[in-house]
Structure 1
Amino acid sequence: MHPSAKPKHSYPLDAWCIRETSFDTQSHFLDETLFALGNGYIGLRGSHEEGYSGPAGTSLDGTYLNGFYESEPIHYPEAAFGLAKTNQFMLNVPNGKGIGLWIEDERFDLLQGTVEKYERTLDFRTGVLQRALQWKSKKGRRVSIVSRRVVCFEHKHLFAMEYVVTPLNFFGRVRLVSTLDGAVKNLEAGDDPRIGSAVSGPALHLVDSDQEEHFSALLQRTGNSGFSLVSATATELRHAGPHALRLLKNGQRLEQSYEVQADEGQAVRLTKFGCYYSSRDYPAKELMWRSRDALAQAQASGFDALLLEQTQYLADFWQRADVEIAGDDALQQGIHFNQFHLLQSVGRDGKTNISAKGVTGEGYEGHYFWDTEIYIFPFFLYSKPDIARKLLEYRYAGLGKARERARQMSHDKGALYPWRTIAGEECSAYFPAGTAQYHINADIAYSIKLYFEATGDDDYMLRCGAEILMETARIWLGIGNYDRGGRFCINQVTGPDEYTALVNNNYYTNAMARMHLNFAADVAARIAAAQPGEFARIAGLMALDAAEPEEWRRAAGLMALPYDVALQIHAQDDSFLSKKVWDFANTPKENYPLLLNYHPMVIYRHQVCKQADVVLALLLLSEEFSLEDKRRDFDYYEPVTTHDSSLSSCIYSIIASEIGYHRKAYDFFMETARLDLDDTHGNTHYGVHTAAMAGTWMGVAYGFAGMRVVKGALRFAPTLPAQWRHYTFKIHFKGALLQVRVEPGRTEYRLLQGEALSFAHRAEALELTLSAPVLSRA
């Protein structure tokens, strides 16, 4: 088993915030990720306004825009037909949060002088990052500095800051310099394939700039993807006395320098608003005036009004999404941290998705994966269904590119979604662990099925969902074939386990394909019967032959699903059980993760799993397996799984809980719940792990509460971990909002919204109504 790393850093336990009470250079890089702010579009790493003068490689002062990218050709030493041609990577865009501070002739620097008091807090209920400190310069001058920062949920393109300096023991000159710095670049890739891009220089080229008394703007353009971007800031200084203002320009760096004579105890307040507008959203010619207008409106509203909006937005979110746990303070903090970062990271416009690292860092280059559909989507579906629909709309927007990719992969019809992408093209340069993961099509189909069963949203199904389902279902007949025994086989694919590649009949892939084919055929039949005009329209869009749905059913009915009779387990694929088991006993702990220390071929020829594969199928297709099946499969695969992937532990926790392995369930759950706060994978400084964060929510709802949706029916089988006094969570389902509270010996179900909701508690059918909104069961 992969040994868990020890926590690199810890924070005082508070359910609703993370707080650091001293400035720590050792954890600085990590803290930049953990204290990051975002709104699903803008992401500001938790870098200090004044910058950081520490050693190279200990800071990444990043600002990111979800879905805004540069592209570059992928260079293969040995090319082959159909390999991905172009990479896309999220850009580090101009830094608008910079504020420099000079006290007389001394510059404020956290690494110089003496930090006498220090506290920084990220509050999950207000969405505000606040820092308060007291600093003494080398010459003995002492100041108080309080800064607040917010990235606005209600305004996609806007962030705001307040910076207050108060002299404590002197009268003298205080200078504040607000900067907009366009001379930024991305992190360069090293030996770890999970981080960085191949571009070494600036990816944004200056086209024009504008600088006025309190306004700065940069107009830039990407070289290959062809996007324009305006980054702009507006500043305002408040001080009892007069001030002098100087405008400075140094290449792509614009400065507004404010100088005042400040009395002891007299506050100097700088308010700063920033925005980002790109041609991915608006015509290039509109970007500058839109930026001016947005900043003018923000200034007119004021900083405090934006904070109030933020608090109100988050109050509504927590009212619907909060998971409460009594009995483990570290876990409660971890869950709130995870939920908050998921909300900060997810695109809500139908054009963007959620990347593996959100908008907190450059790991995986800002790419979107299957993580969205299988791990993250359920959290939003049951907490904020409107966001879930936007994620599905993003997949519909990419259907054209998926059709193109299918043709590149020699499928004459259908659509094949990319393994990793931003704008729809396949960006995976390593096809055995990328393009070969055809299960991406079934994963997207699964999320559409989950969404429809939870919402009954016919509008989405008719506008988008049915077309995606049927176009992607076609691919299974394109890649699969019937063998001599009549089984439908899917060969040369890679399942979720990336330590086992290019195999025949990966169990997860085939089982999910069967679900996909049957569901696509069911949807086709339902729409054809109920709304024949709509079915004719959809069929016309994709030139669907009338016989195709029955071909899907036939393939599903004859699907090859590997099973080992002797072991009585579901085999991961046709060859997995014939391989040599990895020598875990003699693998040094420093050799994990294996992908960084062994050639892929060495790993591929062994029985070793990076993450849940068959075990994931046990969750997603739960009704297809008996409890004995699940126990035998878990017992076999758990010892050969390293959990080198952050996607793994949460799934093992859920299945362990279901089969009664309560200690293992809790241990696996805790590996996920504070994965980023405790940096247990040792790479959170490059960005959070959004799939693992959502996996924590799944661990509560799917794991300990035993929540499943089977054929549209909701059911629970709750258990209470011995370490907890109780836990509570809420889900949206079929127009209702249900609260589930699990205590020792009882579960309380409470209808918070909606007129009625039917579901099952273990094997008992229950119904909540307006007249009977609360039920308790043992």
Structure 2
Amino acid sequence: MQHSSRASDRYGLNPWRITETGFHADDYGLNATLFALGNGYVGLRGTFDEGFAAGAAESGCYLNGVYYSEPITYGEQAYGYAKNNQRIASAALPHELGLTLDGVAVDFSEGELIEHQRELELDNGLVSRQWRWRAPSGQILRLASRRLVSLTERQLVVMEYRLSLESGTGELGVTSSLDATPAASADSDDPRVGAGVNIEDLEPRIQTAQDGRLTLSHHLKSSGFTLSSAAGHRLEGASVSAPTHDTDDFRATCRYQVTLTPEAPLVLTKYVVYGHGGDEAPDLNDLLARCEQRSFDDYARDQRAAMDAFWASSDIEVGGDPALQQGLRFNLFHLFQSLGRDPGTNIAAKGLTGHGYDGHYFWDSEIYILPFFLYTQPQLARNLLLYRHSILDAARARARELAIPKGALFPWRTIGGEECSAYYPAGTAQFHINADVAYAVKQYHEATGDDDFLIEAGAEVVLESARLWPAIGHYNAHRDDQFCINEVTGPDEYTALVNNNFFTNAMAQAHLRYAVELYQWLKDQAPAKAKELYRAMALDEREVADWAQAAERMYLPYDESQGIHLQDDSFLDKPRWDFEHTPADHYPLLLHYHPLTIYRHQVCKQADTVLALFLLSDQFSREQKKRDFDFYEPITTHDSTLSACMHSILANAVGYPDKARHYFEQVARMDLDNHHRNTQHGIHTACMGGTWLCLVQGFGGMRLQHHQLMFNPTLPKGLSHYQFKVRVQGRLIEVSVDASQAHYQLLEGAPITLQHGEHTIALEQDQAPVAAPLRSPTR
């Protein structure tokens, strides 16, 4: 199991800053992730502008939704295996800045680094950095830099460097580049680590360097994308020579010689813009020229305004624990900058901070991440769901490959829509993804009332994906003709290819019921659209009646003797994993034991049945949840970062406040404290979404069921208060919780009635906050 002490003081405890003080080479890779920036389209890892030791950390600049493709090589092939893998594309690095002082390279391994500090500014949306370096000659060079990936100019990265000498005169050499040289393949047996790209897949198209302008373009032969970048420079202050230039297939460079004195520092602003297209390289010259008309300060003001708007509806404030406060804001910040802003993109498991998991999108998006955006910025949640609609044709094709005669099967991991998981027992077999997507569609519509989305896209997604269940399930005569689903894998990747996974069956039941309801709703609300869609789908009343019957007779495995839901039919037939004699350094188990060794034991990688109890919470009593939690929690390793948040939520619901707080601490600082020791490969976006779930739907007890908004808050031990906002059905509601009361205030929208425990509370705008007493956390 994962055990980590808190290292909260590593980055200070400022609620709006992540501060790296000094330079520690061992943390370089980790900090390249933590100090990464993005805007949903472009993502830039936080490696140093002037570089560091080769191979010390992965450098990367990524474009969301743009990928390479390569055939998957199997030692033994079988019908229906995934054919191709997709890897997130690396764009040209924008920030390479080679420096020399009087002909000597500015290198942290040479000379003396006197002072170094870097800050991720969560309120400003940028990274600032300062250092002082003493050259072997004794001269001291200063750098103050700022970097941002624009939230208002989607294709722009802009950097500002202020270089100065403390005394004397020096000749500074500045080499600025665009560098699209492919990264070397990662050498790792860890399936979570992504790999590099075969250089043979890249076809150089354009390389120019003239008058301080740089352009690069290359074509990805395997996927058909063409990536382009263009850079411009503004130099002010010191005396600067005319630049010289150089290009090769994947690199464009300009070099300046600068005479520095203390009275005449150099201020260099570098603008880099990105674009992608099909076979033709996009022309970025006009965009770059427009961007160069504005200063870094102009973009910094825009960035601050965008962040102010984000935090105004999305911030979570907690009192009494600065480490938790910092962790919460750090996580929400990274979610915001990782999420694709257009309907053709999604959010990767590592965001735009690394090529871990090859940049793939998972079901994490709908279950762990979408709720945060749904209840704070619903338009962004809408785009997440429109992505699923955009890949419906690929999901239909995948269903046919698996002998599913109609409907769709969404991939476990993908970028462009094609299933990319080479290991089907823990990939394709996770059929629950269809139900997860339908669940998210239902939640979105209940929270927003966005009928247009449901009519134009959501209904088709839900109905097409519902067709999966009758195709892979059957009525089992040995179980009183109940509807059973065999050979599936639930969320728990340590238990694969089982019959009647409880999570899968329960979510399939909810999916089918919603599909039946939605079929009639669409006929009533948009009869012309319904007629058109049902004709195109060849969907009729008989098929919908079959869905209703399958839902009604769905088998949900249960053990009467212990009073618990069974994760699957065979779970109790297996011996419990020998946790007592498993060395601490043998976690995660997947890196130390063959899958078959793990599969034959009672051991969970992550929440499975526990997750179902949360998602479908209104179907289970508190006593039932407690029995299930008591059984599954001790045999769960939490080797997945998707696990701790669900255990925090359930622990709080069943009266274990200390456990709820313990798991919440892990979730809130999972990456800042590097609990799983792999953050150097990228953040864990699902866990970050779990932060919001823990606080708002865990401790805050928020639920939206049958269009009724409900809260049942508790205050975690060690906190003096917490406060958050939610957008529901066109209203913005602020919720504040202290040691004795919860306070509710309607900030925007029409009057609303909500439930606080057993109390009904009516809210109107311009009304003082309404107070209600808290329940005991152990009740």
What residue in structure 1 maps to residue 241 of structure 2?
243
2:337 to 344, 351, 366: 344
Among candidates 610, 614, 617, match of residue 609 of structure 2: 614
The residue number in structure 1 matching 2:755 is 760
Query: What amino acid is the match of 1:334?
Result: G
8 Å contact kept, 1:95–1:181: yes
Paired residue secondary structure (1:584): coil
Which residue does 2:475 correspond to in 1?
482
Separation (CA, whole Å) in 2 of partners of 1:395 and 1:187:
30
- The answer on 1:578 being equivalent to 2:573 is yes
Matched, 1:527 2:514: no
Of 279, 290, 303, the match for 1:297: 290
Q: CA deviation at 1:520?
A: 0.8
Aligned twin of 1:173: 171
**How many Å separate the matches in 2 of 1:261 and 1:669?**
53
Contact 1:16–1:125 (Cα < 8 Å) also in 2: yes
- Cα distance per residue 1:470-515 (max 9 Å; x no partner): 0000100110110112100011000000000000100000000000
Deviation string, structure 1 residues 93-117 (Cα, Å, up to 9, x no partner): 2212111111111111122211112
Aligned to 2:648: 653
The Cα of 1:196 is off from its aligned counterpart by: 1.9
- Per-residue Cα deviation, 1:599-636 (whole angstroms, up to 9, x for no partner): 10110000000000000001000000000000000000
Aligned residue type for 1:77:
G
Amino acid paired to 1:351: G
The 8 Å contact of residues 43 and 61 in structure 2, kept in 1 or not, is answered as yes
Residue 119 of structure 1 corresponds to 117
Please tell me whether the aligned partners of residues 185 and 202 of structure 1 are also in contact (alpha carbons under 8 angstroms): no
Instruction: Identify the residue that residue 195 of structure 1 maps to in structure 2.
Output: 193
Match of 2:276 among 264, 271, 278: 278
- State the AA in 2 paired with 1:452: H
Match of 2:147 in 1: 149
Aligned residue number for residue 22 of structure 1? 22
2:104 is aligned with 1:73:
no
Query: Which residue in 2 is equivalent to 1:230?
Result: 228
Q: Does 1:563 align with 2:558?
A: yes
Look up the equivalent residue of 1:635 and give its one-letter code.
D
Of 370, 378, 381 in structure 1, the residue corresponding to residue 374 of structure 2 is 381
Q: Using the TM superposition, give the Cα deviation of residue 682 of structure 1 relative to its aligned residue in structure 2, in angstroms.
A: 0.4
Give me the whole-angstrom Cα distance separating, in 2, the residues matched to 1:550 and 1:400: 25
Match of 1:254, SS?
strand
2:625 counterpart of 1:630: yes
Code of the residue aligned with 1:65 in structure 2: it is L
Q: Are the aligned partners of 1:95 and 1:184 in contact in 2 as well (CA < 8 Å)? A: no
Matched position secondary structure for 1:59: coil
State the one-letter code of the partner of 2:96: G
**Structure 1 residues 541, 712: CA separation in 2 closer, same or farther (over 3 Å shift)?**
same
Aligned position for 2:202: 204
Distance 2:126 2:99 in 1: 22
Hey, what's the Cα distance between the residues in 2 that align with 1:40 and 1:199? 22
Q: Name the CA distance, whole Å, in 2 between partners of 1:368 and 1:92.
A: 16
Residue 191 of structure 1: how far off its partner (Å): 0.6
Aligned to 1:566, what secondary structure does the other structure show?
A: coil
Q: Partner of 2:224: helix, strand, or coil?
A: coil
**What's the counterpart of residue 13 of structure 1?**
13
Paired residues, number: 771
Give 2:669's aligned amino acid: R
- Rounded to whole Å, the distance in 2 between the matches of 1:329 and 1:204 is 47
Q: Which amino acid aligns with 1:394?
A: Y
Q: Deviations over 1:442-497 (max 9, x none)?
A: 00001001100100100000000000100000100110110112100011000000
2:184 touches 2:196 (CA, 8 Å); kept in 1?
A: no
Amino acid at match of 1:90: I
- 1:278–1:284 contact (8 Å) kept in structure 2: no
Instruction: Determine the C-alpha separation between the residues in 1 that align with 2:424 and 2:687.
Output: 24
Percent identity at matched positions? 45
The equivalent residue for 2:33 is 33
- Distance in 1 between residues matched to 2:353 and 2:261, nearest whole Å: 39
For 2:107 and 2:168, the matched residues in 1 are separated by 18
Aligned to 1:513: 508
Structure 1 residue 248: Cα displacement: 1.9
In the TM superposition, residue 398 of structure 1 has moved relative to its aligned partner by 0.6
Distance 1:344 1:363 in 2: 17
Structure 1: distance between partners of 2:295 and 2:502: 57
2-side partners of 1:53 and 1:431: how far apart?
Answer: 39
Write the distance in 1 (CA, Å) between the matches of 2:208 and 2:511. 53
1:372 and 2:365 matched: yes
Residues 224, 279 of structure 2: 8 Å contact kept: no
Q: Show the 5 A alignment for 1:716-731.
A: 716-731=711-726
Cα distance in structure 2, aligned partners of 1:220 and 1:171: 41
Q: Structure 1 residue 407: deviation in Å? A: 0.4
Q: Distance in 1 between matches of 2:375 and 2:206?
A: 45
SS at structure 2 position matched to 1:244 = coil
Instruction: Note if contact 2:8-2:323 (Cα within 8 Å) is conserved in structure 1.
Output: no
Q: What amino acid maps onto 1:757 in structure 2?
A: I
TM-score (norm 1): 0.97
Output the TM-score relative to the length of structure 2.
0.97
Deviations 1:45-103 (A, max 9, x none): 0011011125x3x2111111111110000011111110000000112222121111111
- CA separation in 1, counterparts of 2:99 and 2:545? 71
Q: Is the 8 A contact 1:8 1:679 kept in 2?
A: no
Pair 1:363-2:356 in alignment: yes
Residue type matched to 1:79 in 2?
Q
Deviation (angstroms), 1:155: 1.6
- Structure 2 counterpart of 1:91, from 89, 92, 97: 89
* Secondary structure of residue in 1 paired with 2:342: coil
Matches within 5 A, 1:288-437: 288=283, 291-437=284-430
Q: Secondary structure at the match of 1:300?
A: coil
CA contact (8 A) 1:327 1:724 kept: yes
Provide the C-alpha distance between the structure 1 equivalents of 2:248 and 2:49, rounded to a whole number of angstroms.
Answer: 19
Q: Which AA in structure 1 matches 2:575? A: K
- The Cα of 1:251 is off from its aligned counterpart by 4.1
SS at match of 1:361: coil
Aligned-residue RMSD, C-alpha: 1.4
Residue 211 of structure 2 aligns with which residue? 213
Contact 1:186/1:202 (CA < 8 Å) preserved in 2?
Answer: no
Q: Deviations over 1:164-216 (max 9, x none)?
A: 10111111212211111122325425211111237454643312212220211
Counterpart of 1:101, as a letter, is: L
Where do 5+ consecutive residues of structure 2 fail to align?
774-779
